[in-house]
């Protein structure tokens, strides 16, 4: 009992620290600038999976603190699939659907956090608030589309996160191009104004690793979170093309190597979790020297095959390895 209370208290303390960190403008950008990820990406369903998207869908959850009462906006940057920011294959022919959900079941329903698509795929859980489909639309090329204004109470109250949760489900409806986009959780419809205590997270991350300048490397950071029930984690990655090196850092791990996947392939590995890592994020570092960009997929599960969240703002801050120093007194 004491152990459970200790870890719960630690988690709440860490979460409080994160709420403070999230007041910076960078905190509610998705991807977060600290992750060094170029963009999120969703391909049309006619694209081969070797393009770097295993299921042509992506889901992100947005957390609004329980005490927040001002209208909020979930802003989508460059939601259309056309122009210089997207991955063109032949002529642009891709349509992408962005759907916003809130209310009971948004996060808590069975399957809501499963990174693997159901077969056949069922409708997303929660109440559909708004849905918008984009093709090649210059009006939104390099510009924002807003979901909102939204009443924070329309999200699902999730006690473990001390706030209300919305989710946006992105699906490629047709075509074979890659739609690159970003999110921002904001209190303004016209500017990216962070909401104190806000955050965003996903259980499957489909994103673009930027191209490395000649002779230099780029480093991407992912921050999966381990709660006090996690004994081991299984990291799974897709379509890295064997072109990057993956190492894992935390307060107890100082650069553990993990395998990466080939072209159009899945690869996974299992790592133990140290009690020192409970209630904190790990740092998955992908280092690439490839001179072309690469679109890839990641997810992480625990020993029960339950998916773990990647937070845009790492809980407890970016982890730093803590050395154990054995001090001896010489007489």
Mean local confidence (pLDDT), 85-105: 96
The SS3 of residue 272 is strand
Residue 158 near residue 109 (C-beta atoms within 8 A) = no
Please report, for the chain, the start and end positions of each structural domain, with discontinuous segments joined by +: 2-311
Mean local confidence (pLDDT), 282-309: 96
Mean local confidence (pLDDT), 194-220: 94
Spell out a b/e string for 196-225, using b for 16 or more CB atoms within 10 Å of the CB, else e.
Answer: ebbbbbbbbbbbbbbebeeeeebebbbbbb
Judge residue 27's burial from the number of C-beta atoms within 10 Å of its C-beta, 0-12 exposed, 13-18 middle, 19 or more buried.
buried
pLDDT tier at 305, thresholds 50, 70, 90: very high
Closest CA to 205 of 312, 293, 281: 312
Closest CA to 238 of 203, 206, 270: 206
Closest CA to 68 of 148, 154, 144: 154
What's the confidence (pLDDT) of residue 118?
A: 60
Global pTM reads: 0.89
Round to whole Å and give the CA distance between 322 and 304: 28
Mean local confidence (pLDDT), 76-103: 96
Round to whole Å and give the CA distance between 250 and 323: 11
Mean local confidence (pLDDT), 247-255: 95
Closest CA to 31 of 207, 193, 169: 207
Q: Please check the confidence at residue 3 and state whether its pLDDT lies above 50.
A: no
Round to whole Å and give the CA distance between 78 and 72: 19
Mean local confidence (pLDDT), 15-31: 54
Q: Please check the confidence at residue 70 and state whether its pLDDT lies above 70.
A: yes
Chain segment 178-192, per-residue pLDDT in tens: 999 999 999 999 999
Between 313 and 253, the more confident residue is 253
Q: How many CA atoms lie within 13 A of 225 on its CB side?
A: 21
Round to whole Å and give the CA distance between 140 and 138: 5
Positive or negative, the CA dihedral 200, 204, 206, 212 is positive
pLDDT tier at 314, thresholds 50, 70, 90: confident
Residue 53 near residue 42 (C-beta atoms within 8 A) = yes
Closest CA to 261 of 294, 236, 295: 236
Chain segment 33-49, per-residue pLDDT in tens: 999 999 999 999 999 99
> What tokens were used for 21?
């960190």
Average pLDDT, the chain: 89
Mean local confidence (pLDDT), 287-305: 96
Residue keyed to tokens 């991350």: 205
pLDDT tier at 120, thresholds 50, 70, 90: low
What's the confidence (pLDDT) of residue 202?
A: 97
Residue keyed to tokens 């889901």: 59
Closest CA to 143 of 76, 213, 58, 232: 76
What's the confidence (pLDDT) of residue 25?
A: 41
What's the confidence (pLDDT) of residue 313?
A: 85
Q: Which residues contact 325 (CB under 8 A, 6 or more apart)?
A: none
> What tokens were used for 291?
């001179």
Judge residue 107's burial from the number of C-beta atoms within 10 Å of its C-beta, 0-12 exposed, 13-18 middle, 19 or more buried.
buried
């Amino acid at each position: 009992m004491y152990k459970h209370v200790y870890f719960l208290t630690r988690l709440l303390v860490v979460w409080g620290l994160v709420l403070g960190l999230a007041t910076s403008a960078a905190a509610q950008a998705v991807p977060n600038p600290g992750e060094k990820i170029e963009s999120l990406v969703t391909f049309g369903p006619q694209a081969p999976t070797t393009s770097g998207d295993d299921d042509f869908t992506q889901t992100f959850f947005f957390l609004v603190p329980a005490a927040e009462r001002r209208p909020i906006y979930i802003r989508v940057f460059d939601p259309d699939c056309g122009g210089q920011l997207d991955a063109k294959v032949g002529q642009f022919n891709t349509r992408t659907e962005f759907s916003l959900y809130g209310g009971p079941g948004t996060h808590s329903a069975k399957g809501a956090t499963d990174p693997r698509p159901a077969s056949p795929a069922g409708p997303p859980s929660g109440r559909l608030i708004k849905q918008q489909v984009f093709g090649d639309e210059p009006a939104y090329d390099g510009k924002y589309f807003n979901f909102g204004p939204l009443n924070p109470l329309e999200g699902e109250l999730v006690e473990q996160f001390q706030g209300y949760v919305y989710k946006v489900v992105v699906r490629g409806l047709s075509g074979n191009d890659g739609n690159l986009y970003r999110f921002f959780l904001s209190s303004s419809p016209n500017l990216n104004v962070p909401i104190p205590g806000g955050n965003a997270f996903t259980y499957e991350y489909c994103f673009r690793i930027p191209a490395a300048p000649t002779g230099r490397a780029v480093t991407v950071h992912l921050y999966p979170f381990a709660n006090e029930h996690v004994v081991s984690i299984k990291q799974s990655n897709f379509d890295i093309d064997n072109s990057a090196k993956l190492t894992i850092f935390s307060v107890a791990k100082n650069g553990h190597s993990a395998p990466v996947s080939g072209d159009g392939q899945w690869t996974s590995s299992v790592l133990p979790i140290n009690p020192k890592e409970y209630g904190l994020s790990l740092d998955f570092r992908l280092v690439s020297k490839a001179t072309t960009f690469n679109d890839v997929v990641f997810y992480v599960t625990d020993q029960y095959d339950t998916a773990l969240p990647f937070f845009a703002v790492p809980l407890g801050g970016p982890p730093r390895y803590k050395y154990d120093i054995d001090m001896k007194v010489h007489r």
